[in-house]
Amino acid sequence: MADYQAPLRDMRFVLNEVFDAPALWASLPKVAENVDPDTADAILEEAGKITSGVLAPLNREGDEQGCKWNDGEVSTPEGFREAYQTIVEGGWNGLGGNPEFGGMGMPKTLVAQFEEMMQAANMAFGLAPMLTAGACLALDAHGSQELKEKYLPNMYAGTWSGAMDLTEPHAGTDLGIIRTKAEPNGDGSFSVTGTKIFITWGEHDMAENIIHLVLAKLPDAPKGPKGISLFLVPKFAVNDDGSLGERNSLSCGSLEKKMGIKGSATCVMNFDGARGWLVGDENKGLAAMFTMMNYERLGVGIQGIGAAEASLQSAREYALERIQSRAPTGAQQPDKAADPILVHPDVRRMLLTMKGYVEGGRAFSTYVAQWLDIAKYSDDDERRKHAEGMVALLTPVAKAFLTDRGLDACIMGQQVFGGHGFIREWGQEQLVRDCRITQIYEGTNGIQALDLMGRKVVGSQGKLYELFAEDVANFIEENSGDENLRPYLEPLAAAFERLSDVTEHVINQAGNNPDAVGAASVDYLDLFGLTALGYMWAKMVKTAAPKAEGDTSGFYTGKVKSARFYFDRLLPKTVALAEGIRSGSDSMMALTAEEF
């Protein structure tokens, strides 16, 4: 299997050439004081070295060894503790953190590139910094000044890690029915009791302390989601001088045996009157949690891209080296027994499909990240509100579409290898297993589709959709005279019109048919995602086409030709999706339970 190498050339192309991230950062004073183009480039370069050289070599061994549970204690695979120290000593744990408490304050547009490298190199390991970053984000946005000063510096430093404790055995999507309770102690603290499952890195041996953010209900709290509060519950008590005190009354009851990401600890966590502190207001825990959800869900989408990138790199190398049969047009290497399988159209179909989703997805994740940066850092109220609307609309697409296509790409990468793709030593089967979880956690992709179609589109009566529609329409209009873009703008406009028509159709149906949203949602999200990536590929052509002439590296010419494949072979899938959505819910809801 090819050794993973961070795709720095493409990341720089997306950041600097397609989206002109330095100009965005300069327009946001709170960002500009922390990053400039040279700093950003140095971060990318060093991130590439660490992820390729330190994390990637541990990926297979981590999967084979897994984490081990022994009487509540969890040991990590060989090399993980040392790799964790390398990450935290380099400041990577606090890359996007608040500088007031020791973070580096880097924008999400830059952090997203590091996240992709880390997840591509070693997804199981990468979940640890990812969960800590999410916990820090929620604490920074909603915690009291005292809590932030006490916990954030060590969490950004990686001395302490973070975990998010939401799910219970009987409560996954429907968090309103959680049973974990928090009783006030009379001194400002609370006693938290209950069981949480699927807690990623809830227990491990890499950090001195683990800070759990736990959803629980206060006595006499309102029923349902309006009665949920958020509590900070440390593994070890933290004394006033910052030193660690006694072990809190929480423990890891077991580790889940799972399909993939075996190098990470997926814990059952038991809280038995554990001492914790309220984060944010009483009964507002879900609002506090959703502060970090947009970032975390984009992060999961980026995991899908990362796994697909790793699969593509390996499949591409294999297709160049593996010789089988002759090209349909005749022998390409007559001095050898056969030609490389890259000569065969179907192998090219798979590799180009992977390339279309990976590179288009990288551009889309950066596009979403720029809206997150504007929403968080802009001093312009109107600009910030516009960005918040875009984030709300695009987040479920980023999470679900990028992970769905990420798994598709990993399976194609496995298929390029044929029988060897099913064998352990080549690494493709691990990527398929690891990528599978991305469609499930942080809100299953079906729930993301319902969120997009129900809350964001129908719920706003199309107002949020109009923000994206205006952005695409402006691009098409502004570039109508660009000869390089002409072959791409027409199919993009057709797909965009198709998406807009279907959007209006479902909004109209939803008023009379309670099943309309659920019946349309998954196909609608796919239609949206394919169109959005078409928009990204058109933006990339706009940048690459003028530079393709005389390009000896093959980067810009390859980018334009890859775009042509996307528009010829992938974007047309929107036609079938639109027809399926227009068929309505009748056939889906017609069967009785017995008829299934």
DSSP sequence for 517-576: HHHHHHHHHHHHHHHHHHHHHHHHHHHHHHHHTT-SSSHHHHHHHHHHHIIIIITTHHHH
CA distance readout (Å), 470 to 221, 264, 390, 467: 42, 42, 11, 5
C-alpha to C-alpha distance for 418 and 39, rounded to whole angstroms? 43
pLDDT confidence of 520, banded at 50, 70, 90?
very high
Strand ranges (DSSP E) for 201-358? Answer: 209-216, 229-234, 236-238, 244-247, 250-255, 266-279
Proportion of the chain above pLDDT 90, given as a percent: 96
151: left (phi over 0), alpha (psi -120 to 50) or beta: alpha
Q: Are 140 and 152 in contact (CB under 8 A)?
A: yes
Residues 6+ apart with CB under 8 A from 452: 393, 396, 397, 400, 521, 524, 525, 528
Strand ranges (DSSP E) for 38-147? Answer: 68-70, 73-75
Proportion of the chain above pLDDT 70, given as a percent: 100
Q: Based on the number of CB atoms within 10 Å of its own CB, is 474 exposed (0-12), middle (13-18) or buried (19 or more)?
A: exposed
Q: Residue 294 has what pLDDT?
A: 82
Average pLDDT in the 100-110 region? 98
SS3 state at 55: helix
Structure token pair of residue 74: 């969890």
For the cut 80, the answer to whether the pLDDT of residue 459 exceeds it is yes
C-alpha to C-alpha distance for 555 and 439, rounded to whole angstroms? 31
| Of 559, 537, 534, 564, the residue nearest 546 (C-alpha) | 559
Alpha carbon distance, N-terminus to C-terminus of the chain: 43
Q: Residue 174 has what pLDDT?
A: 78
C-alpha to C-alpha distance for 13 and 352, rounded to whole angstroms? 19
| Of 33, 14, 21, 19, the residue nearest 379 (C-alpha) | 33
The sign of the CA dihedral 131, 105, 372, 214 is positive
For the cut 90, the answer to whether the pLDDT of residue 158 exceeds it is yes
Q: Please write the tens of the pLDDT for every residue from 391-400.
A: 999 999 999 9
Q: Are 362 and 10 in contact (CB under 8 A)?
A: yes
pLDDT confidence of 161, banded at 50, 70, 90?
very high
| Of 337, 320, 339, 321, the residue nearest 329 (C-alpha) | 339
C-alpha to C-alpha distance for 190 and 65, rounded to whole angstroms? 38
For the cut 70, the answer to whether the pLDDT of residue 1 exceeds it is no
The residue ranking higher by pLDDT, 292 or 208, is 208
* Average pLDDT taken over every residue of the chain: 97
CA distance readout (Å), 452 to 398, 458, 526: 11, 8, 11
Please report, as a single letter, which amino acid is at residue 596: F
C-alpha to C-alpha distance for 464 and 510, rounded to whole angstroms? 17
Task: List the helix and strand counts (H, then E) for the chain.
Answer: 20, 11
Average pLDDT in the 354-362 region? 98
C-alpha to C-alpha distance for 372 and 55, rounded to whole angstroms? 27
Q: Residue 154 has what pLDDT?
A: 98
Q: Please write the tens of the pLDDT for every residue from 184-220.
A: 999 999 999 999 999 999 999 999 999 999 999 999 9
Average pLDDT in the 236-260 region? 97
- For residue 195, give the H/E element and its range: strand 190-200
Q: Residue 288 has what pLDDT?
A: 87
Domain extents for the chain? 451-589
C-alpha to C-alpha distance for 174 and 84, rounded to whole angstroms? 34
Q: Are strands 209-216 and 160-165 parallel, antiparallel or unpaired?
A: parallel
pLDDT confidence of 53, banded at 50, 70, 90?
very high
Q: What is the dihedral of CA 403, 405, 407, 410, to 10 degrees?
A: -130
Structure token pair of residue 378: 């802009």
DSSP calls for 435-493:
HHGGGTSSS-HHHHHHIIIIIIIITTTTHHHHHHHHHHHHHHHHTTT-TTTHHHHHHHH
Average pLDDT in the 5-24 region? 98
C-alpha to C-alpha distance for 75 and 71, rounded to whole angstroms? 11
Structure token pair of residue 427: 């690494």
Q: Are 270 and 223 in contact (CB under 8 A)?
A: no
pLDDT confidence of 38, banded at 50, 70, 90?
very high
Give the active site residues.
Answer: 442
Q: Residue 170 has what pLDDT?
A: 87
C-alpha to C-alpha distance for 353 and 123, rounded to whole angstroms? 22
Q: Residue 408 has what pLDDT?
A: 98
For the cut 90, the answer to whether the pLDDT of residue 293 exceeds it is no
Q: Please write the tens of the pLDDT for every residue from 65-78.
A: 999 999 999 999 99
Q: Residue 321 has what pLDDT?
A: 96
Q: Residue 366 has what pLDDT?
A: 98
